[in-house]
Structure 1
Amino acid sequence: MRIGPVLLLVWLIIGAIAGSQRHYYDSSTANCAKAGTITVTVLAGPLNYVGVNPKISCKTPQPSS
C-alpha cells in the first residue's frame, strides 16, 4: 500500500476535526460562504493548528428588478 493516499486521508480527517472544533457543522443554515469556509478548513488540514484560519466570503448576484 502506498503512503500517499493514507497521508491524504489523515490530512483531511485532521481538517474535518478542526472544522468541528470551530463549530462549523452546528448551524442548520447553509450558504456559499459557510460551505466555502468548511471546504477550505478541511483542505487546510493540520495547517489549522499552526495559525491558518481560512474564511470564504461570497456575494451572490441579486436578481434585477
Structure 2
Amino acid sequence: MGRLIGILLVIWLVIGAFAAFQRGYFDDTDTNCSEVSDIALNIVAGPLNYTGVNPKVTCTDIDAPEPSS
C-alpha cells in the first residue's frame, strides 16, 4: 500500500512540474520570491492545474536591517 502511495505521489508531482513548465515558469532566469513560490505551488497542486486552479503567491520583500558602521 505504501509503495502505491509513493508512486501516485511521484506521478502527481511530475504532472505538476509539467504544468509549471507549460506555463513558462522555468523559462525566466531572473527569479524572485513570488516566482519561486508560484513554481513550487504549481508543482504541489499537480493535476489540479488542469481543472482551472491557478495558484499564485504574493510576497512582500522585507527590508533587511542595514549593518552598523
- Whether TM exceeds 0.5 here: the answer is yes
- How far 1:64 moved relative to its partner? 5.9
- CA–CA distance in 1 between the matches of 2:25 and 2:64? 29
Quote the sequence identity (%): 43
Partners of 1:20 and 1:54 lie apart in 2 by 14
Distance apart, 1:42 and its partner CA: 0.1
Q: Which stretches in structure 2 are left out of the alignment for 5+ residues?
A: none
Distance in 1 separating the partners of 2:14 and 2:25: 15
Map 1:24-63 → 2, pairs under 5 A: 24-63=25-64
Q: Please give the root-mean-square deviation of Cα atoms over the aligned residues, in Å.
A: 1.6
TM-score (norm 1): 0.92
Larger radius of gyration: 2
* SS of equivalent to 2:27: coil
User: After the TM superposition, which segments of 4 or more aligned residues of structure 1 sit over 3 Å from their partners?
Assistant: none
Say how many residue pairs are matched. 65
